[in-house]
A and B are shown apart, each in its own frame.
Chain A
Amino acid sequence: MNNSVNILLVDDEARNLDVLESILQVADYRLVRAQNADEALHALVSESFAAIVLDVRMPGMTGLELAQLIKQRKKTQHIPIIFLTAYYQEDEHVMQGYVAGAVDYLSKPVNPDILRSKVAVFVDLFRKSRALESEIAERRAAEQRVRDLNDQLAMRVTELGSANSELEAFSYSVSHDLRAPLRQVVGFANSLKKVAGDNLDARAAEYIPLIQDAATRMGRLIDDLLEFSRVGRTEMVQENVNPRTLLDQALQTLQPGAAGRRVEWQIGPLPEIRGDPAMLRQVWANLLDNALKFTRPRDCARIEVGCQSQPAEHIFFVRDNGVGFDASHANKLFGVFQRMHARDEFEGTGIGLASVRRIIARHGGRAWAESYPGKGTTVFFSLPRPIEAQPAVLQA
């Protein structure tokens, strides 16, 4: 930015102007000369000035009349004026009639140091207000950018909202319409069994439950897929939750499936976390359900639940002594419809861990697994620690 400032010098005597010029010869002042009011006004119209040094007594329009004009015009009214007068006694009261600060006066002959310092004060003021103006302009532009971004954001939110409700409508109609034919397949297979009864030969009779199983499984897949998509879309609540309480609630729904089995539970202390209780309960339910399922061949299932706390996050784990799987497939484990075992060995649609990863990701954490075939599996998931609970000094 050009840092030079304009200063207007007005005097009818060219010699006086020369003197003023020589006094105010400073590198970054641009001195503009005017020998009468007309020239001065002309200069004021075309450029902006930091200050005006104005001779009071001039033929034609006097300096005082010119000053009045300058103060009346909006564009120039804030330009400070330094009056020069040889008749201080006569002009004093008139000059004092101007607003203090914007106007000053010096008596002739001019003391160069005083003139220089008075002009320097006004130049400084001018520069500061110019800097302030550009700062204000910048700030306005920044505000405008923020407003634009906010508008864009609001638009995106609206778009997202309508995409979301479209998805909602879609999954609603999927749950209704996709399931109806399956229900009918199961139903009519049942009717067939009843109507045909003993007329079916043994082989034909075997097909009926196969038809029903297949349709029922398809129904379960649809239900699970809907559940998986719901987990990604529903709004989350954030509250302090006790993981142990959620775990116990999840266990209650699973216990009937484990009835009659020997299961050795080992549940360590679990720290309080922040998150959505329903979703986190679902995480426990899916992990414990898997642990129970894959330890089924064991005489005594051992299931361990615990937590290793790090400075920034809690790492929870569920460890079992079940059948395990080949760890080279571990990354596939959390995909949708990924199964590690034959269907006639272990039931399930392959959605459980995909839901777990999705829920944990929505809480800002990660989920992963370690496994050894024949020895067992450990599934880990991390959750960020609540900020206020983070220790100020990290322990080595």
Chain B
Amino acid sequence: MKQLARIILAEDDPADARLALDTLAEQKLDQHTVVLADGLQVMDYLYARGRFRNRSPGHPMVILLDVKMPGLDGLDVLEQIRSDPALRYIPVVMLTASRQERDVRRAYEFGANGYLVKSIDFDACRASLLAFGHFFAVANEPPPGSLQPPRTP
């Protein structure tokens, strides 16, 4: 049985996914992250169906969701998650290249818990991704039914 991941990273650009994983690796969170390339795979993972039917049960601690993905895009996925009572409390953070107010507002209207901008400034990107990982996959108390953070006794 495959281990449930703490973080779902939905990102269709393999280079961006790689950079994000490299950064998360600094906190050893890369091994707790599953990278999915589009919205359908995210829904399959959440419902443990298709190639994910053998994963261990429960919800991830957080989903980092690229807005622009082929097919089912980030906002579509967010909408589906928020409309299913079983999934609606999973923390979702949007990941996008756009800082436009319209896009930010839409993300929050759809019920996002956070909004990370893929900045051209690598250091800024790295810092916000590290802060994200530490908060959502280590420090935060996730909603019941989610994977629990590792506890130090």
A: residues with CB less than 8 A from B are 172, 175-176, 179-184, 186-188, 190-191, 212, 215-216, 219-220, 223
Contact partner, B118, options A183, A188, A190, A220, Cβ 8 Å: A183
Chain B residue numbers with a CB within 8 Å of A181 are 15
Which residues of B sit under 8 angstroms from A188, Cβ to Cβ? Answer: 15, 19
Question: Which B residues touch A172, using CB under 8 A?
Answer: 98, 100
B98 touches A186 (CB 8 A): no
Kindly provide the distance from the CB of B78 to the nearest chain A CB, expressed in whole angstroms: 18
In angstroms, Cα B13 to Cα A181, docked, is: 10
* Cα separation A110 to B46 with both chains bound (whole Å): 111
- Tell whether A187 pairs with B68 under 8 Å between CB atoms, given A216-B120, A216-B121: no
Known: A184-B13, A216-B121. 6 other contacts (CB 8 A): A183-B97, A183-B118, A184-B16, A184-B19, A187-B15, A212-B122
In the complex, what residue of chain A is closest to B121 when comparing beta carbons? A216
Chain A residues, CB < 8 A from B16: 180, 183-184
A-B contact pairs, 10 of them (CB 8 A): A172-B100, A176-B68, A179-B120, A180-B118, A182-B120, A183-B16, A187-B15, A188-B15, A219-B120, A220-B120
Q: How many residues of B contact A (CB 8 A)?
A: 17
Chain B interface residues (CB < 8 Å from chain A): 13, 15-16, 19, 22, 68, 96-98, 100, 118-122, 125-126
How distant is A173 from chain B, measured CB to nearest CB, in Å?
Answer: 9
| Closest residue of B by beta carbon distance from A187 | B19
Nearest 3 A/B pairs, CB to CB: A219-B120, A187-B19, A184-B15
CB distance from B127 to the nearest CB of A (A): 12
Known contacts A172-B98, A176-B68, A176-B98, A186 near B122 by CB under 8 Å:
yes
Chain B CB within 10 A, most for which of A176, A180, A183, A219 = A183
Contact of A187 among B96, B97, B125 (CB under 8 A): B125
- Kindly name the residue among B16, B96, B122 whose own CB sees the greatest number of chain A CB atoms within 10 A: B122
Set of chain B residues within 8 Å of A223, measured between Cβ atoms: 120
Give the Cβ gap from A191 to chain B, nearest Cβ, in Å: 6
Q: How far is the CB of B6 from chain A (nearest CB, A)?
A: 23
Instruction: Give every chain A residue within 8 A of B126 (Cβ-Cβ).
Output: 190
Measured in the bound complex, the distance between the Cα atoms of B124 and A183 in whole Å is 11
Which residues from A are CB-within-8-Å of B121?
Answer: 186, 216
The residue on A at minimum CB distance from B13 is A180
Q: Say yes or no: B97 contacts A190, CB within 8 Å.
A: no
Residues of A within 8 A of B19 (CB): 183-184, 187-188, 191
Q: Which residues of B contact A186 (CB under 8 A)?
A: 120-122
Q: Give every chain A residue within 8 A of B68 (Cβ-Cβ).
A: 176
Q: How distant is the Cα of A216 from the Cα of B121 in the complex, in angstroms?
A: 7
- Neighbouring B residues of A175 by C-beta, 8 Å: 97-98
Are A191 and B22 in contact, with the CB atoms below 8 A? yes
Give Cα A172–Cα B102 distance, bound, in whole angstroms. 12
Contacts of B118 in A (CB 8 A): 179-180, 183
CB atoms of A180 and B122 under 8 A apart? no
> Across the interface, which residues of B come within 8 angstroms of A215, CB to CB?
120
- B99–chain A nearest beta-carbon distance, Å: 9
Shortest beta-carbon distance from B76 to chain A in Å: 17
Q: How far is the CB of B75 from chain A (nearest CB, A)?
A: 14
Do B119 and A183 touch (CB < 8 A)? yes
- Could you say which residues of chain A place their CB within 8 Å of the CB of B98? 172, 175-176
Q: Give A223 to B120 CA distance when docked, in angstroms.
A: 10
Which residue of B has the minimal Cβ distance to A212? B122
Which residues does chain B contribute within 8 Å of A184, judged by CB atoms?
13, 15-16, 19
- In the assembled complex, the Cα of A223 lies from the Cα of B121 at a distance in Å of 13
The complex places the Cα of A182 from the Cα of B19 at a distance, in Å, of 13
* B122 to A: closest C-beta gap in Å: 4
Which of B68, B96, B120, B126 neighbours the largest number of chain A CB atoms within 10 Å of its CB?
B120
B122 contacts A187, C-beta separation under 8 Å? yes
* Minimal beta-carbon separation of B33 from chain A (angstroms): 17
Asked if A183 contacts B22 (CB within 8 A), the reply is no
Whether A190 pairs with B122 at a CB distance below 8 angstroms is yes
Min distance, Cβ B81 to any Cβ of chain A, angstroms = 23
Residue in contact with B97 in the complex, picked from A179, A216, A220, CB distance below 8 Å = A179
Contact B122 A176 (CB under 8 A): no
Complex Cα distance A186/B126, Å? 11
